[in-house]
Amino acid sequence: MTTATTAISLMDACCSRCTHSPQTPCAQYLDCRAHGPLCHTDPACTAALNARRDAAMHIATRPIIYVGAGTCGLAAGMDQVIPAMQKALTEHGLDVMVKEVGCFGLCHREPMLDVKKPGRPRVCFDHVDVKKALAIVTRYLVNDEVPADLSMGIIATPDAAPDSPEFALPNLYDLPVLVRQRRIVLQNCGLIDPDALDEYVARGGYGALAKALAAGDNGEMVLNEVLKAGLRGRGGGGFPTGRKWQLTRAQQNTPKYLVCNADEGDPGAFMDRSVLEGDPHRVIEGMLLGALAIGADHGYIYCRAEYPLAIKRLLHSIEELEGRGLLGDNILGSGFSFHLKVKQGAGAFVCGEETALLASIEGKRGMPRVRPPYPAQSGLWGQPTCINNVETFANVAAIVDHGGAAFASVGTERSKGTKVFALTGTIKLGGLVEVPMGMTLREVVFDVGGGILDDRPFKAVQIGGPSGGCLPTAMLDTLVDYDSLIAAGAMMGSGGLVVMDDKTCMVDLARFFMEFIRNESCGKCIPCREGTTRMLEILERIVRPYRDEDTEATLQRFKSVIMLEELAQVIRDTSLCGLGQTAPNPVLSTLRYFRDEYEKHVFERTCPAGACRSLLTFTVNAEKCKGCTLCARNCPAGAIWGASKQTHVIDQAKCVHCGVCMDVCRFDAVLAQ
């Protein structure tokens, strides 16, 4: 979105000699916009297209301000910065273009804002509040002084003069968090206006589509390159994408459908959303290539309803593509047709599972069904259907552009390319990172992620969400690739990577995931529906204090670890879909690596991490207590005694272990052990 009325787009005709329209498609349309005009040599047209290409590449005659308006940027306060800055720009009478861009991935530095002056590199600023934004406007735009103390670095641009004073600043991509990343999927994220088709096209976008259509082989080239690339599904399972496409392509039955899984259910992951918000055309181009390869002429993007911005961007992009004849019938005169629709999810984790997702698109309850038949044979309305994840599709254009072999040169023996992770938890440099497969977890957490917040000790990293596992320090040298992670008892998953310090309790974390799964089980099969409820009960029993236990419950508690393992086995072996089959993983992996912590809870009745409050003893430190009475007034059990200005005391017999006293005390006088 731009604040000024958008100028003529690069995608428009240069003059009336251009014949391209959705009704009369020109095969050279994209090539013409990238390098043309091709069908005539009018200097005026060449000049016009060059100017539009420059504009799409952000080579402008006036400064551009880029505001990070992804969800994380807005949440961190950008929504307040934008109007204040607009006001300042008007007051100074500055003619500046303000562009909203998606998430660049440096969420820990949000809100972020970049400024690019004509003929200069792009200067990036982090933690921008209103005051800082105003300082940037005055110092950089009005006084033309490079505010080195406010900036975090620069991004080179094609038009930057080599002697620009900004080059004294460090290159953004040399920051430790970025220098080890390899950006294929995230290449444009945070850099371009996601709502502008011409910005994507000017950077080579839809070039892969044009190439594939020009090959005139019904997508055989695309399929071969994807096979050669060794691309595996990024949605969790890691099934080879080329093989899936081959299977669907081989089906005789038509019509065929192509579906993009943008349900992103892992509660703690947002890679797919950021890509859809920041570079939607990359995903759509991947889908077009996939549709060509399998012979589908209809497609759906099934997107979580919780992602309204992503949905808005997708709908806008689809509309623009249809208007240009790049979606719809007879694309670029090739005879290939593809119609794309967005379907909103309705908030059910299980709908990420492919057969449940298809049921949901058909308007039914999202319940998985038995496979085979696989969707490739019988999917939407019984027709051959291919389902892939957002990030899987986002890799395809690069594969077709640069060849499968180039893609396969990155990564490990059996896991090729890169993987995007949402790096969160108690980590210093949290955000979105894209790293080559085969990096170790240690490198991801400590080199890219900068280590643990407040320099506390590392305890574990949870990878793969509710289907994945927790890996301890000893496993930090595990490679990030599909097979190594499975061998370690975790899984690649969709890309959630939650880092935890010593204050996180592993029993509590297992309980968290089990509660999530219990709530999200579709209820179709008994082991999953009842088994997860039982496992959750056992985990809750482990953290229940003595006094709420009768002898029977105490006995049960002693058996809990054994029962957890037994139940896990049954649920894993007898559940219908992936949700149930992997549901026990968080418990199994924590039992494998943090068994002592379970034992401490079960037998010693303590929580070493100090997280399970029901097992803690709360006391008042007489030296710190100022007798402010705040805790006594807030204690729901009336368990705190003490007069004003005198040390307070907690009556352990009455205490219900809620920890409110510790939360409210302003002097850190309440201790928990």
Ligand X SMILES: Cc1cc2nc3c(=O)[nH]c(=O)nc-3n(C[C@H](O)[C@H](O)[C@H](O)COP(=O)(O)O)c2cc1C
Residues 6 or more apart whose CB falls under 8 angstroms from that of 402 comprise: none
Nearer residue to ligand X within complex by CB, 241 or 589: 241
Q: Which of residues 336-355 bind ligand SF4 (CB under 6 A)?
A: 350
For CA atoms 625, 630, 633, 636, the dihedral sign is negative
637 belongs to the binding site for ligand SF4 (CB under 6 A): yes
Which of 267, 450, 545, 627 touches other proteins (CB under 8 A)?
267
Q: How far is the CB of 99 from other proteins (least distance, A)?
A: 21
Best CA proximity match to 275, nearest among 288, 290, 289, 261: 261
Residue 622 three-state SS: coil
Euclidean distance between CA atoms 36 and 17, whole angstroms: 13
- Contacts of residues 473-478 at CB distance under 8 Å and 24 or more positions apart, as own/partner, are 474/593, 475/441, 475/593, 476/440, 476/441, 476/442, 476/445, 477/440, 477/441, 477/442, 478/440, 478/441
- Please tell me the chain's helix, strand, coil percentages from 3-state DSSP, rounded to the nearest 5: 45, 15, 40
Task: Tell me which DSSP letter residue 141 carries.
Answer: I
Choose the stretch contacting other proteins; rule: CB under 8 A; options: 52-60, 190-198, 305-313, 649-657.
305-313
Instruction: Name residue, tokens 């139940």.
Output: 567
DSSP 234-274: TTSS--BHHHHHHHHHH---S--EEEEEE----TT--HHHH
Partner whose footprint covers residue 525, from other proteins, ligand SF4, ligand X, none (CB < 5 to 8 Å by kind): ligand SF4
Q: Which span sits near ligand X by CB under 6 A: 384-392, 415-423, 547-555, 612-620?
A: 384-392
From CA 463, how far away is CA 254, in angstroms rounded?
39
> Candidates 145-153, 212-220, 256-264, 481-489 — which segment interacts with ligand X by CB under 6 A?
256-264
Taking the complex as a whole, the smallest distance from the CB of residue 102 to ligand X amounts, in Å, to 19
Q: Which of 210, 212, 576, 588 binds ligand SF4 (CB under 6 A)?
A: 576
648 interacts with ligand SF4 by CB under 6 A: no
Q: Which stretch binds other proteins (CB under 8 A): 360-368, 394-402, 410-418, 574-582?
A: 360-368
590 interacts with, out of ligand X, ligand SF4, other proteins, none, CB within 5 to 8 A per kind? none
Instruction: Compute how many other C-beta atoms are within 10 angstroms of the C-beta atom of residue 89.
Output: 20
Is the CB of 387 or the CB of 616 nearer to ligand X? 387
Task: State whether residue 296 is helix, strand or coil.
Answer: coil
536 sits near ligand SF4 (criterion: CB under 6 A): no
What ranges make up the beta strands (E) of 516-559?
none
Q: Which is nearer to ligand X, 207 or 237 (CB)?
A: 237
Closest to 74 (Cα-Cα) out of 266, 364, 277: 277
In 3D, which of 395, 348, 217, 190 has the Cα closest to residue 274?
190
Site for ligand SF4 (CB under 6 A): which residue of 348, 650, 665, 669? 650
Could you tell me the smallest distance in angstroms from the CB atom of residue 405 to ligand X?
Answer: 21
For ligand X, the binding residues in 176-235 under the rule CB under 6 A are 233-235
State the number of binding residues for other proteins (CB under 8 A): 53
Rg (the chain; Cα; Å) = 28
C-beta separation of 67 from 81 below 8 A: yes
Q: Segment near other proteins (CB under 8 A), from 27-35, 357-365, 577-585, 648-656?
A: 357-365
Estimate to the nearest angstrom the gap between the alpha carbon of 99 and the chain centroid: 22
Residue 576 partner contact from ligand X, other proteins, ligand SF4, none using kind-dependent CB cut-offs of 5 to 8 Å: ligand SF4
3-state secondary structure of 481: coil
Choose among ligand X, ligand SF4, other proteins, none what residue 504 binds, the Cβ cut-off being 5 to 8 Å by kind. other proteins
Which one, of 69, 50, 279, 66, lies nearest residue 159 by Cα? 50
By CB under 6 A, is residue 665 in contact with ligand SF4? no
| Part of the chain binding ligand SF4 (CB under 6 A), chosen from 212-220, 358-366, 391-399, 521-529 | 521-529
Asked if residue 633 binds other proteins (CB under 8 A), the reply is: no
Helical pair 207-215 and 220-229, crossing angle rounded to 10 deg:
120
Of 211, 402, 529, 605, which lies in the binding site for ligand SF4, with binding defined by CB under 6 A? Answer: 529
Residues 577-596 that bind ligand SF4 (CB under 6 A): 577, 579-580
Query: Phi/psi at 199 (nearest 5 deg)?
Result: -70, -35
CB 196 within 8 A of CB 276: no
- Amino acid identity, position 322: E
Q: Which does 498 bind (CB under 5 to 8 A by kind): ligand SF4, other proteins, ligand X, none?
A: other proteins
Look at residue 509 and give the partner it binds from ligand SF4, ligand X, other proteins, none, a contact being a CB closer than 5 to 8 Å depending on partner kind.
other proteins
Task: Return the number of the residue (108 or 281) whose C-beta is nearest other proteins.
Answer: 108
CA-based nearest residue to 195, from 59, 284, 65, 317: 317
Contact between 355 and other proteins by CB under 8 A: the answer reads no
The DSSP H or E segment spanning 516 is helix 506-520
Q: Does 395 bind ligand X (CB under 6 A)?
A: no
Residue 411 lies near ligand X (rule: CB under 6 A): no
Q: Which stretch binds ligand SF4 (CB under 6 A): 229-237, 265-273, 413-421, 652-660?
A: 652-660
Among 86, 344, 383, 614, binds other proteins (CB under 8 A): 344
Determine the interface stretch with ligand X among 73-81, 93-101, 382-390, 631-639 (rule: CB under 6 A): 382-390
Residues 6+ apart with CB under 8 A from 604: none
One-letter amino acid of 640: I
Q: Which amino acid is at 14?
A: C
Q: What is the distance between the alpha carbons of residues 552 and 110, in angstroms, rounded to a whole number? A: 52
Q: What are the two backbone dihedrals, phi and then psi, of residue 380, each rounded to the nearest 5 degrees?
A: -60, 125
* Beta-sheet pairing, 385-389 with 257-262: parallel
Span 591-630, contacts to ligand SF4 by CB under 6 A: 618
What is the length of the chain? 673
Phi, psi of 486 (to 5 degrees): -65, -45
Q: How far apart are CA 588 and CA 573, in angstroms?
A: 14
Stretch that binds ligand X, among 326-334, 412-420, 452-460, 575-583 (CB under 6 A): 575-583
Candidate residues 190, 465, 469, 527; the one interacting with other proteins per rule CB under 8 A: 465
- Pick 102 or 366: Cβ nearer ligand SF4: 366
Segment contacting other proteins by CB under 8 A, of 115-123, 403-411, 539-547, 656-664:
656-664
Q: Is position 108 an interface residue for other proteins (rule: CB under 8 A)?
A: yes
Q: Judged by CB under 6 A, does residue 575 bind ligand SF4? A: yes
Among 27, 57, 659, 667, binds ligand SF4 (CB under 6 A): 659
Judged by beta carbon, residue 415 or residue 462, the one nearer other proteins is 462
450, exposed or middle or buried, with CB in 10 Å at 0-12, 13-18, 19+? middle
The CA angle 226-228-231, to the nearest 5 degrees, is 50
Binding residues for other proteins, rule: CB under 8 A, are 71-72, 74-76, 107-108, 110, 265-270, 273-274, 305-307, 343-349, 360-366, 422, 424-426, 430-431, 462, 465, 496, 498, 500, 504, 509, 512-513, 516, 522, 659, 663-664
Binding residues for ligand SF4, rule: CB under 6 A, are 350, 368, 521-525, 528-529, 575-577, 579-580, 618, 635, 637, 639-640, 650, 655-661
Binding residues for ligand X, rule: CB under 6 A, are 233-237, 239, 241, 261, 263-265, 350, 352-354, 387-389, 392, 494, 577-579
